[in-house]
Structure 1
Amino acid sequence: MSERRRGAALEKALLDAAWEELADGGYVKFTMDAVVQRAGTSPPVLYRRWSNREELVRATLLHVLRENRLGLPDTGSLREDVLTLMRDINKTRVELLTVMSVHLAGFYQETGTSPSELRNPLSSGRKQLVDVMFARAVERGEVDPERLTDRIKSLPFDLLRHEILLTFAPVPDQNLEEIVDTVLLPLVR
């Protein structure tokens, strides 16, 4: 006899099952019943938490972003910190970006939202991570703080995401280095 899941463990199991459904079949095939089946629970358990699939999709994406937060590199140089973070994203986020862009196209159309609304950097912790990384570079004297804007700080990661979405595959390391060396660093020094 298996132990009954409750509270946070049950919610995690439901959200994990919902993520697997989205990754396997996309939003078009995503149903509350499929999540119930995959999670091995009953419809009332799911509907007590989320009343429809839109709410469940939003909660699922926030869950996946929070579960897969990346660590803050501290290599001693902005170049290496940015490259380390980009390499971590490159290794771990291709599926997430693909699901959020391609598999959720029907969701965006149905709800009138966009990937940027679901990819809130505040909910994923990304903005704080990047701000700390650049603040360290300012303290080390590597960058001109007058040149730092939120757009410039996000630029290498925006370019990485763009390349991933063009190929649905990890970006070659030489491309990551080119983004940092020829785009980012000249802008901040």
Structure 2
Amino acid sequence: MSSPARTTTEADVDHRKRPRRRGAALETAILEATLAELGEVGYARLSVERVAERAGASKASLYRRWPSKVELVMDAVYHVFPDATSPPDTGSLRGDLVATMRAVAHRLSGPAGQAMGGVLSDALGDPDKAHRVRSYARGNSQASMREIVRRAVERGEVDPSAVTERRLETGHALLRYHFITRGVPIPDQVIDEIADEVMIPLLQRPGGAPR
């Protein structure tokens, strides 16, 4: 009597026999596998072995690009965050600020937020990891704010003399503070208050009229 046919599972599949991906395709597969693993097991239990298996890659290919879990997770986070060079264009300063911060808040509520929370906790008591996290900062939030404010200046909504780097970083800094101290989800009301009570007053002359 013949034995019943055995079902092949993912664990039985040798990723080395899959079509080989290279360059950007391989990198995208690895970053998406990282986010999927984060969503299932969280940052603390994330392993390079599982990410490599899920992406159909070798551990060596991961370690060549990302020396540690910190770099891998930071790249995965940036992979899904909104494009800093093309923030929403709603036609108004307030609309752009709110839309941009809501997009970030939405990402922080998913695996990317879990990853950021894990990385920050991991780096808190480890100077080496903290240095690596800082070195990975790309200034994306600052870049998106510069573009939003540039458009607002052209529309006459913003006083050019009120635009400083410190003021540009205020909105996202408050968003991060809320994320770190109160977690997710970040209510829309918080984002509205950051825009109305902080960002817009900082970028306009008293009375709300640009010079």
For the aligned pair, the TM-score class normalised by the smaller chain equals: 0.7 to 0.9
Quote the residue 2:154 is aligned against. Answer: 139
Deviations 1:133-162 (A, max 9, x none): 111112222122222211211212211222
Quote the residue 1:29 is aligned against. Answer: 45
Deviations 1:56-93 (A, max 9, x none): 53144224314432442222221111111112222223
Match of 2:134 among 112, 117, 137: 117
TM-score, normalised to structure 1's length?
Answer: 0.78
- How far 1:27 moved relative to its partner? 4.7
Asked whether the equivalents of residues 17 and 38 of structure 1 are also in contact (C-alpha less than 8 Å), the reply is yes
TM-score, normalised to structure 2's length?
Answer: 0.71
1:58 aligns with 2:58: no
Q: Structure 1: 5+ residue runs without aligned partners? A: none
AA at the equivalent of 1:146: S
Equivalent-residue separation in structure 2 for 1:49 and 1:173 (angstroms): 37
State, as a whole percentage, how many aligned pairs show the same letter. Answer: 35
Structure number with greater Rg is 2
Quote the residue 1:42 is aligned against. Answer: 58
Number of residues paired by the alignment?
184
Match of 2:183 among 162, 168, 175: 168
AA at the equivalent of 2:56: G
Assess, with a 3 A threshold, how the Cα gap between structure 1 residues 184 and 116 changes in structure 2: closer, same or farther: farther
Equivalent-residue separation in structure 2 for 1:46 and 1:184 (angstroms): 40
Q: Structure 2: 5+ residue runs without aligned partners? A: 1-16, 205-211
